[in-house]
Amino acid sequence: MKSSLILLLALSSLFLPQCRDQEGQGEPSQSGGGESKGQTAVNDMTNLNEDQEASASENPKVDYGALSDEEWKDRLTPEQYYILRQAGTEPPNGEVYKEFKGQGGGTYHCAGCNTELFKSDTKFDSHCGWPSFYDPSKAQNVKTDVDFHLGYARTEVRCAVCDGHLGHVFSGERFASMGGGQTPTGQRYCINGTVLKFVPNEQKSGVE
Protein backbone atom coordinates (compact mmCIF):
# COMPACT_ATOMS: atom_id res chain seq x y z
CA MET A 1 0.00 0.00 0.00
CA LYS A 2 2.76 2.38 0.92
CA SER A 3 4.63 1.55 -2.26
CA SER A 4 1.53 2.43 -4.36
CA LEU A 5 1.16 5.80 -2.59
CA ILE A 6 4.81 6.62 -3.14
CA LEU A 7 4.45 5.81 -6.86
CA LEU A 8 1.41 8.11 -7.20
CA LEU A 9 3.23 11.00 -5.52
CA ALA A 10 6.20 10.54 -7.83
CA LEU A 11 4.02 10.62 -10.96
CA SER A 12 2.13 13.75 -9.84
CA SER A 13 5.40 15.62 -9.30
CA LEU A 14 6.28 14.98 -12.94
CA PHE A 15 3.02 16.40 -14.40
CA LEU A 16 2.36 19.48 -12.20
CA PRO A 17 5.26 21.70 -13.47
CA GLN A 18 4.22 20.97 -17.06
CA CYS A 19 0.63 22.06 -16.36
CA ARG A 20 1.81 25.29 -14.78
CA ASP A 21 3.96 26.08 -17.85
CA GLN A 22 1.04 25.47 -20.23
CA GLU A 23 -1.29 27.77 -18.23
CA GLY A 24 1.25 30.57 -18.49
CA GLN A 25 1.59 30.43 -22.29
CA GLY A 26 0.16 33.44 -24.21
CA GLU A 27 0.62 35.95 -21.35
CA PRO A 28 2.91 38.93 -22.17
CA SER A 29 6.20 39.01 -20.36
CA GLN A 30 6.68 41.86 -17.89
CA SER A 31 10.43 41.89 -18.38
CA GLY A 32 13.00 41.22 -21.03
CA GLY A 33 12.31 42.07 -24.70
CA GLY A 34 8.48 42.22 -24.37
CA GLU A 35 6.62 45.54 -23.80
CA SER A 36 3.82 45.86 -21.25
CA LYS A 37 0.45 47.49 -21.98
CA GLY A 38 1.31 50.31 -19.59
CA GLN A 39 4.61 51.02 -21.34
CA THR A 40 2.88 50.99 -24.74
CA ALA A 41 0.37 53.61 -23.54
CA VAL A 42 3.20 55.80 -22.23
CA ASN A 43 5.02 55.58 -25.56
CA ASP A 44 1.85 56.43 -27.49
CA MET A 45 1.25 59.51 -25.31
CA THR A 46 4.87 60.62 -25.75
CA ASN A 47 4.55 60.36 -29.53
CA LEU A 48 1.29 62.35 -29.43
CA ASN A 49 2.87 65.13 -27.38
CA GLU A 50 5.83 65.28 -29.75
CA ASP A 51 3.46 65.56 -32.74
CA GLN A 52 1.52 68.37 -31.04
CA GLU A 53 4.73 70.26 -30.24
CA ALA A 54 5.93 69.88 -33.83
CA SER A 55 2.59 71.19 -35.12
CA ALA A 56 2.71 74.17 -32.75
CA SER A 57 6.26 75.04 -33.82
CA GLU A 58 5.16 75.09 -37.48
CA ASN A 59 2.45 77.69 -36.69
CA PRO A 60 3.86 79.90 -33.92
CA LYS A 61 1.73 82.77 -32.63
CA VAL A 62 2.83 86.00 -34.26
CA ASP A 63 3.99 88.89 -32.09
CA TYR A 64 2.61 91.66 -34.31
CA GLY A 65 4.06 94.37 -32.11
CA ALA A 66 7.56 93.07 -32.81
CA LEU A 67 7.26 93.04 -36.63
CA SER A 68 9.50 95.50 -38.45
CA ASP A 69 8.35 97.71 -41.33
CA GLU A 70 10.09 95.40 -43.77
CA GLU A 71 8.28 92.39 -42.34
CA TRP A 72 4.96 94.20 -42.64
CA LYS A 73 5.73 95.08 -46.26
CA ASP A 74 6.34 91.40 -46.96
CA ARG A 75 3.00 90.44 -45.38
CA LEU A 76 0.84 93.14 -46.99
CA THR A 77 0.16 94.60 -50.40
CA PRO A 78 1.46 98.18 -50.92
CA GLU A 79 -2.10 99.52 -50.54
CA GLN A 80 -2.70 97.56 -47.33
CA TYR A 81 0.63 98.69 -45.91
CA TYR A 82 -0.18 102.33 -46.72
CA ILE A 83 -3.51 102.14 -44.88
CA LEU A 84 -2.77 99.77 -41.99
CA ARG A 85 0.73 100.93 -41.10
CA GLN A 86 0.73 104.56 -42.31
CA ALA A 87 -2.88 105.53 -41.54
CA GLY A 88 -3.65 106.12 -45.21
CA THR A 89 -7.07 106.25 -46.88
CA GLU A 90 -8.25 104.52 -50.04
CA PRO A 91 -10.10 106.53 -52.71
CA PRO A 92 -13.90 106.59 -52.22
CA ASN A 93 -16.25 104.65 -54.47
CA GLY A 94 -13.47 102.41 -55.77
CA GLU A 95 -13.58 98.78 -56.93
CA VAL A 96 -13.18 97.54 -53.36
CA TYR A 97 -16.29 99.48 -52.33
CA LYS A 98 -18.28 98.05 -55.25
CA GLU A 99 -17.27 94.54 -54.21
CA PHE A 100 -18.25 95.31 -50.62
CA LYS A 101 -21.75 96.36 -51.65
CA GLY A 102 -22.26 93.09 -53.52
CA GLN A 103 -21.07 90.78 -50.74
CA GLY A 104 -23.65 88.69 -48.88
CA GLY A 105 -23.62 87.24 -45.38
CA GLY A 106 -20.28 86.76 -43.70
CA THR A 107 -17.64 88.31 -41.51
CA TYR A 108 -14.94 90.89 -42.13
CA HIS A 109 -11.44 90.28 -40.83
CA CYS A 110 -8.31 92.43 -40.53
CA ALA A 111 -6.02 91.92 -43.52
CA GLY A 112 -3.02 92.36 -41.24
CA CYS A 113 -3.73 89.69 -38.62
CA ASN A 114 -6.98 87.93 -39.63
CA THR A 115 -8.83 89.14 -36.53
CA GLU A 116 -12.61 89.26 -36.88
CA LEU A 117 -13.81 92.88 -36.83
CA PHE A 118 -17.30 93.21 -38.32
CA LYS A 119 -20.26 91.14 -39.50
CA SER A 120 -22.39 91.72 -42.56
CA ASP A 121 -25.41 92.00 -40.23
CA THR A 122 -24.25 95.46 -39.17
CA LYS A 123 -23.15 96.87 -42.51
CA PHE A 124 -25.27 99.45 -44.31
CA ASP A 125 -25.09 101.82 -47.26
CA SER A 126 -24.19 105.26 -45.98
CA HIS A 127 -23.48 106.55 -49.52
CA CYS A 128 -20.14 107.87 -48.32
CA GLY A 129 -18.01 105.76 -50.68
CA TRP A 130 -16.44 103.54 -48.02
CA PRO A 131 -17.69 100.40 -46.26
CA SER A 132 -19.86 101.33 -43.29
CA PHE A 133 -20.88 99.36 -40.20
CA TYR A 134 -22.81 100.48 -37.14
CA ASP A 135 -21.09 98.14 -34.66
CA PRO A 136 -18.05 95.82 -34.43
CA SER A 137 -18.79 92.10 -34.21
CA LYS A 138 -16.40 91.77 -31.25
CA ALA A 139 -15.85 94.97 -29.29
CA GLN A 140 -12.57 93.75 -27.80
CA ASN A 141 -11.04 93.43 -31.29
CA VAL A 142 -11.21 97.13 -32.12
CA LYS A 143 -9.91 100.18 -30.30
CA THR A 144 -10.16 103.93 -30.87
CA ASP A 145 -7.78 106.85 -30.69
CA VAL A 146 -7.89 110.58 -31.40
CA ASP A 147 -6.74 111.60 -34.89
CA PHE A 148 -5.75 115.19 -35.79
CA HIS A 149 -4.49 114.45 -39.34
CA LEU A 150 -7.01 116.85 -40.90
CA GLY A 151 -6.40 119.56 -38.31
CA TYR A 152 -9.38 118.68 -36.13
CA ALA A 153 -10.20 115.79 -33.84
CA ARG A 154 -11.61 112.59 -35.31
CA THR A 155 -12.05 109.21 -33.65
CA GLU A 156 -9.69 106.76 -35.32
CA VAL A 157 -10.51 103.03 -35.40
CA ARG A 158 -7.63 100.56 -35.07
CA CYS A 159 -7.32 96.79 -34.88
CA ALA A 160 -6.70 95.89 -31.23
CA VAL A 161 -4.53 92.90 -32.17
CA CYS A 162 -2.04 94.25 -34.73
CA ASP A 163 -2.66 97.99 -34.12
CA GLY A 164 -3.41 98.57 -37.79
CA HIS A 165 -5.34 101.67 -38.89
CA LEU A 166 -8.81 100.77 -40.17
CA GLY A 167 -10.69 104.05 -40.54
CA HIS A 168 -12.81 106.32 -38.35
CA VAL A 169 -16.06 106.20 -36.40
CA PHE A 170 -18.64 108.99 -36.41
CA SER A 171 -21.67 109.55 -34.17
CA GLY A 172 -25.03 111.27 -34.45
CA GLU A 173 -25.35 111.14 -38.25
CA ARG A 174 -28.55 110.46 -40.15
CA PHE A 175 -28.92 108.33 -43.26
CA ALA A 176 -31.47 107.83 -45.99
CA SER A 177 -30.92 104.08 -45.74
CA MET A 178 -32.09 104.33 -42.12
CA GLY A 179 -35.28 106.16 -43.07
CA GLY A 180 -33.66 109.47 -42.30
CA GLY A 181 -32.70 108.37 -38.82
CA GLN A 182 -29.56 107.20 -37.06
CA THR A 183 -28.13 103.71 -36.99
CA PRO A 184 -29.18 101.38 -34.12
CA THR A 185 -26.03 102.41 -32.23
CA GLY A 186 -25.99 106.01 -33.40
CA GLN A 187 -22.57 105.35 -34.96
CA ARG A 188 -21.00 104.82 -38.37
CA TYR A 189 -17.72 102.92 -38.58
CA CYS A 190 -16.23 104.20 -41.84
CA ILE A 191 -13.66 101.52 -42.75
CA ASN A 192 -11.20 101.12 -45.62
CA GLY A 193 -12.31 98.07 -47.60
CA THR A 194 -8.73 97.38 -48.74
CA VAL A 195 -7.77 96.21 -45.25
CA LEU A 196 -10.85 94.03 -44.75
CA LYS A 197 -10.89 90.35 -45.70
CA PHE A 198 -14.39 89.08 -46.35
CA VAL A 199 -15.19 85.51 -45.31
CA PRO A 200 -18.58 84.16 -46.44
CA ASN A 201 -20.61 82.36 -43.78
CA GLU A 202 -20.10 78.96 -45.40
CA GLN A 203 -16.32 79.37 -45.16
CA LYS A 204 -16.09 80.81 -41.67
CA SER A 205 -15.28 77.44 -40.03
CA GLY A 206 -11.85 77.52 -41.69
CA VAL A 207 -10.91 80.91 -40.22
CA GLU A 208 -9.43 81.30 -36.72
**pLDDT tens per residue across span 89-120:** 999 999 999 999 999 999 999 999 999 999 99
Give a yes or no: residue 167 inside a domain.
yes
Give a yes or no: residue 144 inside a domain.
yes
Determine contact, residues 112/76, Cβ cutoff 8 Å. yes
**pLDDT tens per residue across span 15-53:** 444 433 333 334 433 434 444 444 444 444 444 344 433
Give a yes or no: residue 99 inside a domain.
yes
At 10, the pLDDT band (50, 70, 90 cuts) reads very low
Q: What pLDDT, on a 0 to 100 scale, did the predictor assign at position 68?
A: 96
Give a yes or no: residue 61 inside a domain.
no
Give a yes or no: residue 6 inside a domain.
no
User: Which residue in 110, 113, 162, 190 is the catalytic one?
Assistant: 190
Whole-prediction pTM value?
A: 0.68
What Cα–Cα distance (Å) separates residue 180 from each residue in 169, 176, 198?
19, 5, 28
Give a yes or no: residue 162 inside a domain.
yes
Task: Give me the CATH number covering residue 127.
Answer: 2.170.150.20
Q: Which of 34-38, 65-69, 78-82 has the lowest mean pLDDT?
A: 34-38
Question: 159 catalytic, yes or no?
Answer: no
Give a yes or no: residue 32 inside a domain.
no
Number of structural domains, the chain?
A: 1
For the chain, what percent of residues have pLDDT higher than 70?
69
The amino acid at 137: S
Helical residues (DSSP H) of the chain, grouped into ranges: 2-23, 37-58, 69-75, 78-84, 95-102
Assess whether pLDDT exceeds 60 at residue 80.
yes
Give a yes or no: residue 190 inside a domain.
yes
At 198, the pLDDT band (50, 70, 90 cuts) reads very high
Domain with 186, as residue range(s), is 67-199
Residue 85: how many other CB atoms lie within 10 Å: 20
Backbone CA torsion sign across 85, 87, 90, 96 = positive
At 204, the pLDDT band (50, 70, 90 cuts) reads low
Distance CA 10, CA 31 (A): 33
